[in-house]
């Protein structure tokens, strides 16, 4: 066994199993540099199609000055996924009351056209809405998707992988806070912009024939560029995310109609924040498999080191324990398949705080595999409860001539 350690803080070794691909970390040492180089070449080759999968957690070169430039609504991919995560999020879900397939297809077309118009003018700062004229540049990033139920009912051209999730053990899902035919996420630097735009978007889609189903607001701490935000358990959340070449394989669709689309899995997860906070920090660290203080994996020396789930202590025990969250969610257990996590925290009163888990992937079967492992033995289980769920096909971006979802009808 080559993965034996002399101490938990010693440099880790990796056993041969680890060296076989199994999701060789996109974020470690030479492999990561090589991948970034490949990514740069690829981006140059395919131009705008390879807009980066930006995330707060990914180190950026240059100064740390916050970006104040407007965020373009149009693009091959929706800006809500290509921009670094903005700290305030507002999610909205709408249903289309079923009538006939022909009429409902027309309604959905109108809803998506209305959203495209409202969101593009809001992002451009040209909406005649005094509440948005703050004297500062509007920075709004949106994600719009359609749910699996309406896609199958209306025979839409969506990825074949789009499907609702199975039920998992201990799910306590409130249907009124989940699912939906059209899903919208609005993100900005603070709550003001998403709140106002949500109101305008709701008016627009209601006029087009949709009805509101649920809304949910979320937030992140403001962090310097490149610094991973924390969740309410105090841990950095979003560290191990794929870089662009890895995301092209596992997050975005294959070449064709869906290549700039992806599938969102949303879970509203209640967290017992006080109960978790009462646990000693070293125990918290072994429950996650990373250190709360700096996000460094228990087997590494830097935040973006890949957790080595095969490394062992001299006594044969795994350094990252069997029930640790990052072991059970490790891409090594999924042949390297990765999801892009861009979650938000929520606070809905003293008895309900938690995580709006938002993960994007080509095939939501990945979520199901990971969640089945987590639901069986994740050390976090006594402190969390899944309370709502939604899946949506995140549409490719709109162009000035083609609204969101223009390819759904072919």
Q: How far is the CB of 34 from ligand HEM (least distance, A)?
A: 18
Q: Please provide the size of the chain in residues.
A: 410
CB-CB contact of 219 with 91 (8 Å) = no
CB-CB contact of 284 with 276 (8 Å) = yes
Please list, in sequence order, all residues whose beta carbon lies within 8 angstroms of the beta carbon of residue 152, skipping any fewer than 6 positions away.
none
Q: Could you say whether residue 308 binds ligand HEM (CB under 6 A)?
A: no
Q: How far is the CB of 179 from ligand HEM (least distance, A)?
A: 17
Strands 344-347 and 353-361: antiparallel
Q: Could you say whether residue 94 binds ligand HEM (CB under 6 A)?
A: no
Q: Helices (DSSP H) in 136-222: which residue ranges? A: 148-153, 192-207
Q: How far is the CB of 188 from ligand HEM (least distance, A)?
A: 23
Can you tell me the distance from the alpha carbon of 107 to that of 101, in angstroms, rounded to the nearest whole number? Answer: 10
- Residue from 58, 77, 177, 290 touching ligand HEM (CB under 6 A): that is 290
Nearer to ligand HEM, 53 or 326 (CB): 326
Angle at the Cα of 160 (from 55 to 356), degrees rounded to 5? 35
Nearer to ligand HEM, 94 or 250 (CB): 250
Can you tell me the distance from the alpha carbon of 171 to that of 390, in angstroms, rounded to the nearest whole number? Answer: 13
Q: Could you say whether residue 370 binds ligand HEM (CB under 6 A)?
A: yes
User: Of these residues, 237, 306, 334, 363, which one is catalytic?
Assistant: 237
Q: How far is the CB of 128 from ligand HEM (least distance, A)?
A: 41
Nearer to ligand HEM, 120 or 239 (CB): 239
State the number of binding residues for ligand HEM (CB under 6 A): 28
Can you tell me the distance from the alpha carbon of 160 to that of 22, in angstroms, rounded to the nearest whole number? Answer: 25
Stretch that binds ligand HEM, among 9-17, 111-119, 216-224, 365-373 (CB under 6 A): 365-373
Nearer to ligand HEM, 50 or 296 (CB): 296
Nearer to ligand HEM, 179 or 325 (CB): 325
Q: Could you say whether residue 320 binds ligand HEM (CB under 6 A)?
A: no
Give the CA distances from residue 235 to residues 134, 175, 210, 276, 347, in Å, rounded to whole numbers and listed in that order: 34, 29, 38, 11, 17
Please list, in sequence order, all residues whose beta carbon lies within 8 angstroms of the beta carbon of residue 157, skipping any fewer than 6 positions away.
257, 407, 408, 409, 410
Helix (H, G, I), strand (E, B) or coil at 266: strand
Nearer to ligand HEM, 50 or 374 (CB): 374
Question: How far is residue 170 CA from its own chain's centroid?
Answer: 22
Contacts to ligand HEM from residues 12-71, by CB under 6 A: none
CA neighbor of 300 nearest in space, from 326, 338, 322: 326
For the chain, counts of helices (H) and of strands (E): 11, 9
Nearer to ligand HEM, 204 or 370 (CB): 370
Contacts to ligand HEM from residues 212-271, by CB under 6 A: 231, 233, 235-240, 267, 269, 271
Q: Could you say whether residue 355 binds ligand HEM (CB under 6 A)?
A: yes
Please list, in sequence order, all residues whose beta carbon lies within 8 angstroms of the beta carbon of residue 351, skipping any fewer than 6 positions away.
none
Nearer to ligand HEM, 156 or 355 (CB): 355
Q: Could you say whether residue 288 binds ligand HEM (CB under 6 A)?
A: yes
State the DSSP code for 93. Answer: E
- Tokens 């938002």 sit at which residue? 358
- Residue from 252, 346, 357, 360 touching ligand HEM (CB under 6 A): that is 357
Q: Helices (DSSP H) in 47-186: which residue ranges? A: 79-82, 101-124, 148-153
- Residue from 326, 361, 379, 391 touching ligand HEM (CB under 6 A): that is 326
- The dihedral over CA atoms of 358, 364, 369, 372, expressed in degrees to the nearest 10, equals 60
Q: How far is the CB of 355 from ligand HEM (least distance, A)?
A: 4
Q: How far is the CB of 36 from ligand HEM (least distance, A)?
A: 17
Q: How far is the CB of 156 from ligand HEM (least distance, A)?
A: 26
Is 171 annotated as catalytic?
no
Q: Which residues are catalytic?
A: 237
Using CB under 6 A as the criterion, which residues of the chain lie in contact with ligand HEM when the complex forms? 231, 233, 235-240, 267, 269, 271, 288, 290, 307, 325-326, 329-331, 339, 355, 357, 367, 370-371, 374, 380, 384
């Amino acid at each position: 066994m080559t993965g034996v350690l002399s101490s938990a803080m010693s440099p880790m070794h990796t056993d041969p199993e680890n060296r076989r691909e199994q999701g060789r970390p996109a974020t470690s040492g030479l492999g990561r540099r090589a991948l970034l180089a490949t990514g740069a070449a690829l981006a140059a080759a395919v131009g705008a199609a390879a807009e980066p999968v930006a995330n707060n957690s990914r180190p950026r070169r240059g100064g740390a000055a916050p970006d104040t430039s407007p965020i373009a609504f149009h693009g091959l991919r929706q800006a809500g996924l290509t921009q670094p995560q903005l700290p305030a999020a507002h999610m909205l879900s709408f249903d289309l009351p079923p009538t006939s397939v022909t009429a409902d297809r027309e309604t959905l077309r109108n809803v998506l056209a209305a959203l495209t118009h409202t969101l593009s003018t809001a992002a451009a700062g040209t909406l005649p809405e005094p509440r948005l004229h703050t004297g500062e540049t509007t920075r709004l990033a949106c994600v719009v998707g359609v749910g699996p139920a309406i896609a199958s009912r209306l025979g839409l051209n969506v990825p074949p992988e789009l499907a609702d999730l199975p039920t998992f053990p201990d799910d306590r899902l409130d249907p009124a806070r989940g699912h939906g035919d059209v899903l919208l996420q609005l993100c900005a630097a603070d709550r003001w912009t998403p709140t106002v735009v949500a109101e305008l978007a709701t008016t627009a889609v209601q006029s087009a024939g949709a009805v509101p189903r649920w809304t949910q607001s979320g937030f992140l701490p403001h962090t310097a560029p490149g610094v991973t935000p924390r969740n309410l358990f105090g841990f950095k959340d979003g560290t191990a995310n794929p870089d662009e070449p890895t995301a092209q394989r596992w997050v975005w669709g294959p070449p064709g109609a869906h290549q700039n689309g992806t599938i969102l899995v949303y879970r509203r997860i209640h967290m017992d924040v006080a109960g978790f906070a009462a646990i000693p920090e070293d125990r918290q660290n072994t429950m996650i498999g990373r250190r709360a203080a700096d996000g460094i994996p228990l087997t590494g020396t830097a935040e973006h080191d890949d957790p080595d789930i095969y490394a062992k202590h001299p006594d044969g025990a795994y350094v990252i324990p069997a029930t640790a969250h990052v072991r059970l969610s490790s891409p090594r257990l999924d042949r390297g398949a990765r999801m892009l996590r861009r979650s938000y925290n929520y606070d809905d009163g003293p008895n309900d705080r938690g995580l709006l888990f938002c993960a994007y992937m080509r095939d939501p079967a990945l979520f199901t595999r990971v969640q089945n492992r987590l639901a069986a033995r994740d050390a976090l289980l006594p402190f969390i409860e899944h309370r709502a769920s939604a899946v949506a096909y995140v549409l490719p971006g709109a162009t000035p001539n083609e609204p969101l979802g223009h390819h759904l009808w072919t």
